[in-house]
């Protein structure tokens, strides 16, 4: 499996550290290289924490599936049912929880007012000054298109997280830890910016990513080991405390221009095989994750450099994930192997 990802470190400029983890059936491999960067650089390990960016959204989708499984909410619930009266006066009952999770709610990509607050930090930390109060104020002004068509929306998944938080009566980070992170044993994963890599963009270090007003859309940090464990929970046979929810998030629910949409996860098919995938990016880190229930494969790649126009890290990670699927389909199962190596 190592040969599938040997090219990845060169695919993201200015990264000082990269971590990749793969699963093929019962075989598991973690590959790491470089350092964490910053004033006190340390070797990257499988437990080194990177910013996940929009990969956070898949965790929010799993939280939705779990709360549906518990009977606490329904996918077809209007989001207004789980918000204070008058919180979003321009949204109608057609904006549902499932619509938010599939980017078919009609909401814009960003909340009103964010760009104005983010001007000073647009290249470093654009969400830092956008607080929960700012998010609430933005909802009062938010208007959307007619729901139905795919339209990627950070605002939509942030609103989904807010609705789930209010339905359960606890903050998003606390709710996610209780319902998803601890049950899956994800000890390296949370929204705290402490103990993580130093991110870089075009060779310059970036401050830790902060999203106080929209955590469900992109605030998580995690390690390659944790994300691989998270993805493995989605592979059959269904086991564990979130088995039904993990199966539910992989069910296609909507269509975009060139792929299907599950609960947040994107789904594409090749030669009768399926791959669910999602990427994430902050100003200082890039993340990619994918899994194939049919092939029994999972793949995660993390780098401490933000996305740029000439970066090929996500594209090459996507193709490596497909290569893993095709490789698994052509090989017999093997006994478990678990180790960590330099790429």
Model confidence over 90-141: pLDDT tens digits? 999 999 999 999 999 999 999 998 988 777 787 788 899 999 999 999 999 9
CA atoms of 128 and 140, how far apart (whole Å): 20
- What is the pLDDT, as a whole number, of residue 334? 46
CA atoms of 338 and 71, how far apart (whole Å): 37
CA angle in degrees (0–180, nearest 5) for 97-252-288: 90
Q: What is the pLDDT of residues 246-294, one digit of tens each?
A: 999 999 999 999 999 999 999 999 999 999 999 999 999 999 999 999 9
Q: Could you tell me which CATH number the domain at 2-341 has? A: 3.40.710.10
Instruction: Tell me the domain boundaries of the chain.
Output: 2-341
- For the CA atoms of 87, 151, 221, 341, the dihedral, rounded to the nearest 10 degrees, stands at 170
- The residue whose two tokens read 């193709």 is 319
The residues of the chain scoring below 50 in pLDDT are 334-338
Contact status, residue 26 vs residue 175, Cβ threshold 8 Å: no
Shortest CA distance to 330 belongs to which of 31, 28, 27, 24? 24
Predicted TM-score (pTM) of the model is 0.95
CA atoms of 213 and 129, how far apart (whole Å): 8
């Amino acid at each position: 499996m190592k040969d599938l990802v040997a090219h990845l470190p060169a695919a993201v400029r200015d990264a000082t550290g990269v971590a990749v983890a793969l699963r093929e059936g019962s075989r598991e491999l973690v590959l790491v290289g470089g350092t964490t960067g910053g004033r006190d650089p340390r070797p990257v390990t499988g437990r080194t924490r990177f910013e996940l960016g929009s990969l956070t959204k898949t965790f929010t989708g799993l939280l939705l599936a779990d709360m549906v499984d518990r009977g606490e909410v329904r996918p077809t619930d209007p989001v207004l049912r789980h918000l204070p009266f008058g919180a979003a006066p321009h949204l109608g009952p057609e904006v549902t929880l499932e619509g938010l999770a599939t980017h078919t709610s009609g909401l814009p990509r960003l909340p009103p007012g964010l760009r104005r607050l983010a001007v000073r930090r647009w290249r470093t930390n654009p969400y830092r000054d956008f607080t929960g109060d700012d998010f609430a104020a933005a909802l009062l002004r938010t208007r959307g298109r007619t729901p139905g068509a795919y339209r990627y929306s950070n605002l939509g998944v942030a609103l989904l997280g807010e609705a789930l938080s209010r339905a359960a009566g606890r903050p998003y980070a606390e709710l996610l830890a209780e319902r998803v992170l601890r049950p899956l044993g994800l000890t390296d994963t949370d929204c705290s910016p402490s103990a993580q890599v130093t991110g870089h963009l075009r060779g310059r270090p970036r401050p830790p990513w902060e999203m106080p007003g929209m955590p469900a859309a992109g605030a998580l940090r995690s390690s390659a080991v944790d994300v691989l464990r998270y993805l493995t929970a989605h592979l059959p046979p269904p086991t564990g405390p979130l088995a039904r929810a993990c199966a539910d998030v992989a069910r296609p629910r909507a269509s975009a221009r060139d792929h299907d949409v599950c609960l947040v996860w994107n789904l594409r098919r090749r030669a009768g095989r399926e791959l669910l995938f999602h990427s994430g990016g902050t100003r200082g880190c890039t993340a990619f994750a994918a899994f194939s229930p049919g092939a029994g494969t999972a793949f995660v790649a993390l780098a401490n450099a933000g996305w740029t126009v000439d970066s090929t890290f996500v594209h090459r990670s996507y193709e490596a994930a497909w290569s893993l699927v095709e490789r698994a389909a052509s090989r017999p199962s093997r006994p478990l192997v678990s180790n960590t190596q330099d790429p």
